[in-house]
Chains A and B, each alone.
Chain A
Amino acid sequence: MVGGFIILLIYRVAPLTAYWALLYGAFGRPGGLSETLLESIPLMLTALGYAVAFKCQVFNIGGEGQIYMGALIGTWVALTLPPNLPLLLPLVIISGCLGGAAWGAIAGFLRAQWGVNIIVSTMMMNYIAILLVNWAVSGPMQAPGIVYPVSSPLPTSAWLPTLFGSNLDIGFLIGLIIAPLLYILLTRTVVGYQIRAMGANPEASRYAGIREYRNILLSMVISAGLAGLAGVFEITGRDHMLLMSFSPSYGYTAVIVALVGSLNPFGVVLSSIFFGAIENGASIMSYNVGIPVYFSSLMQALVIFFFLAGKSDVMDKSGIFKFMKRYLFRIGGAEDNGARRPSH
Chain B
Amino acid sequence: MALEDLVTELLSATIRLATPIVIAAIGELFAERSGVMNLGVEGMMLLAAIFGLIGTFFTQNLWMGVLLGMLAGGLVGLFFAYMTVTLRVNQATLGIALGFLGTGLSGLLVYGVFHDFEVSPSLRFGNIGLPVLSGIPVLGQSFFNQNILIYFAYVMVPVSAFILSKTTFGLKIRSVGENPRAADSVGINVSRIRYICTVLGGMMAGLAGSYMILAYVSTLSEDIIGGRGWMAIALVIFGSWNAYYIFFGALLFGGVSALQISLQTGAGSYGAYTFLYMLPYLVSLVSLTVVTRTRKIRKKAVGPEALSKPYIREEAG
Contact = CB atoms under 8 A, between A and B. Distances in A.
B287 to A, nearest CB: 10
B87 A309 contact: yes
Given A110-B289, A120-B233, A297 B88 contact: no
Interface string B280-299: 01101100110011001000
Interface string A287-304: 000011111011011001
A71 interface: no
Given A119-B92, A304-B101, A338-B310, A127 B292 contact: no
Given A114-B292, A292-B112, A314-B88, A304 B97 contact: yes
Interface string A197-230: 0000000000000000000000000000000000
Main secondary structure of the interface of B (DSSP, over half): helix
Query: Interface extent on A, as a size class?
Result: 35 or more
B169 interface: no
A128 B107 CA distance: 22
Nearest to B269: A139
B230 interface: yes
A289 B175 CA distance: 53
A124 B284 contact: yes
Contacts of B273: 135
A338 B88 CA distance: 10
A121 B290 CA distance: 12
A337 B308 CA distance: 12
B18 interface: no
Contacts of B107: 294, 297
Given A115-B296, A297-B104, A134 B281 contact: no
B130 interface: no
Contacts, number: 154
A294 B86 contact: no
Interface in A266-315: 291-295, 297-298, 300-301, 304-305, 308-309, 311-315
B89 A308 contact: yes
Interface in A307-341: 308-309, 311-315, 336-339
Contacts of B93: 54, 59, 259, 308, 336-337
Contacts of B109: 294
B159 interface: no
A292 B222 CA distance: 15
B293 to A, nearest CB: 4
